[in-house]
Structure 1
Amino acid sequence: MVEAWYMDESQEDQRAPHRLQPNRAVSLEQLRRLGVAYRRLDADNYETDPRLKEIREAENYSWMDIVTIHKDKLPNYEEKIKTFYEEHLHLDDEIRYILDGSGYFDVRDKDDKWIRISMEKGDMITLPAGIYHRFTLDENNYVKAMRLFVGEPVWTAYNRPADDFPARKQYMKFLAEEAQ
């Protein structure tokens, strides 16, 4: 089951949990108010899982692939890990389904504070277009994830600052409406 918390400001190893002391947990409802959607699925049977099929059809996730992030599996591993951890946004939703291993998605809250979302096997997350975020492995240094897209995949990340993009403006409007 997913767990999320506010992060400390340490610049040490990005793969460490970085929990505030005392811990400030973040609920699924708090994530939902940021536009982050979470589902728990059966990763052992993802190829035949009727629930995954339903989600893909309902959300129009017509394209998918599987990526393994590990030093022995991913070309240019060190460079990619640094790139994933740079704060950025996308113009489309980012959908990831963890099939094996674990890692962290960090998202900014409405006050620009980092929230760390611990993802493990069976967790599916949807980050809305326009949300500032980043990804890193945890201390296990391995994750296998399904990437899902509506239509052809768009891999472009826009590093912060990227506030002038329509997707960012739409996201900020969403946050303002959620606050009312």
Structure 2
Amino acid sequence: MTSGIEAWYMDESSEDQKLPHRLKPNQPVTLRQLEQIGVYYWKLNADIYENDPELQKIREEKGYSYMDIITIHPDKLPDYENKVKMFYEEHLHLDDEIRYILDGSSYFDVRDKDDRWIRIAVSKGDLITLPAGIYHRFTVDESNYTKAMRLFVGEPVWKAYNRPADDSDIRKAYVNSLRCS
């Protein structure tokens, strides 16, 4: 894992979700702080993703056997506006969320231990994993374009559990893991 990702605490503005929403002054979040809440990051060469030995090694080590590619752009994704709104609903999954940005840029927002939003800017070459049970959301930035590889352990699970889902076993396990770290 190398540094290169940019993350920060978000403001409370309800303005356009595609804007950066930085606090003034900016409050950056380090890679170490992200790791403490279970978010991991790799920087890879997206130009060679089809034959990248580094990506292959990560997939083998983590058991990411399923892969597909999604392009999020008004001309490429049917029902674009509704999908972007849906991705931005705060939710969790029963499995880790693994995304490798092949082109473009976007944001993942995650909740920290104190329930504050952290915005993570991702762009070409960024591979990010969000742990099962973490509340999060996704949005494109002002470019309105990102192309991402979605990775899963086994068959893909597309089910999102919108907040509140605090009583789910996976959420309880995630919160408990934060107490132990």
Q: TM-score range by the shorter chain?
A: over 0.9
Within a 5 Å distance, the mapping from 1:67-106 to structure 2 comes to 67-106=70-109
Q: Which residue in 1 is equivalent to 2:129? A: 126
SS in 2 for 1:47: helix
2:54 is the counterpart of 1:64 = no
* Alpha-carbon distance, 1:45 to partner: 0.3
Pick aligned residue for 1:39 from 29, 37, 42: 42
Q: Structure 1: any 5+ residue segments left out of the alignment? A: none
* CA–CA distance in structure 1, aligned partners of residues 82 and 21 of structure 2: 22
SS in 2 for 1:5: strand
Q: Structure 2: any 5+ residue segments left out of the alignment? A: none
The one-letter amino acid paired with 2:107 is Y
2:157 is the counterpart of 1:154 = yes
* CA–CA distance in structure 2, aligned partners of residues 147 and 177 of structure 1: 29
* Alpha-carbon distance, 1:118 to partner: 0.2
1:54-82: CA deviations, max 9, x gaps?
Answer: 00000000000000000000011111000
* Alpha-carbon distance, 1:20 to partner: 0.2
| TM-score under structure 2 length normalisation | 0.98
SS in 2 for 1:82: helix
SS in 2 for 1:62: strand
The one-letter amino acid paired with 2:66 is W
Pick aligned residue for 2:29 from 14, 26, 39: 26
SS in 2 for 1:83: helix
| TM-score under structure 1 length normalisation | 0.98
* CA–CA distance in structure 2, aligned partners of residues 148 and 164 of structure 1: 26
Runs of 4+ off more than 4 Å: none
Q: Which residue in 1 is equivalent to 2:178? A: 175
For the aligned residue pairs, the C-alpha RMSD in angstroms reads 0.4
The one-letter amino acid paired with 1:171 is Y
